[in-house]
Amino acid sequence: MFERVLVATDGSESVRRAIDVGLDVAERFDADLHAVTVLDTSELDATPEALREEYRAALESQAETSLDSFERQIPDEPVSTAIREGRPAAEIRAHADQIGADLIVAGTRGRHGEHRQLLGSVAEHLVRNSSVPVLTVRQLAAKEDVSGETATR
């Protein structure tokens, strides 16, 4: 059913569960696993020119770190990774088209997730505009158990 699964990652905590789900789907269908992260150039363009080079380097470092984290989370599985530049939703869709993905897996909230109620703006755009199915994975809320430790439900 699925031959290529693309997981969109931005290095945020909420995407960790999406990585797990993407890996699970890829394993169940014996599909190739791909990961993509996007340097959001709209953020870069809004940065004062004097700080642009430094900010670009920080964005590139963050992108590399998020993909390294992805690969560390699934050390025994081969994964193809890519860093793209542009508007995240459009670049994720373009990458999915380029690799012939059958499924896109995305977290519902990313680095800007606290500003959206149900879906993050990138996930919402993917769901509405992608030519392939999109599996959105919400981050489970953390709650304290009776021992006072934080647990994820």
Quick: pLDDT tens for 98-140.
Answer: 999 999 999 986 544 444 444 578 999 999 999 999 999 987 6
pLDDT at 29: 96
The candidate with the shortest Cα–Cα distance to 110, out of 40, 6, 23, 51, is 40
d(CA 153, CA 137): 14
User: Which residues lie closer than 8 Å to 74 by C-beta, 6 or more apart?
Assistant: 19, 23, 33
Q: What would the pLDDT profile of 39-84 be if each residue is shown by its tens digit? A: 988 877 888 988 999 999 999 999 999 999 888 888 787 899 999 9
CATH number at residue 61: 3.40.50.620
Cα-based angle 25, 21, 133 (whole degrees, multiple of 5): 65
Range of the domain at 80: 4-152
| DSSP 8-state assignment for residue 129 | H
Q: What is the dihedral of CA 21, 22, 25, 28, to 10 degrees?
A: -100
Q: Let me know if 116 is exposed, middle or buried by CB neighbors in 10 A (0-12, 13-18, 19+).
A: middle
Number of domains in the chain: 1
d(CA 140, CA 152): 6
Of the listed ranges 10-14, 39-43, 148-152, the one predicted with least confidence: 148-152
pTM: 0.82
Residue with the two structure tokens 């990961």: 35
Better-scored residue on pLDDT, 36 or 145: 36
The candidate with the shortest Cα–Cα distance to 18, out of 114, 109, 95, is 109
pLDDT at 145: 44
CB 119 within 8 A of CB 24: no
pLDDT at 26: 95
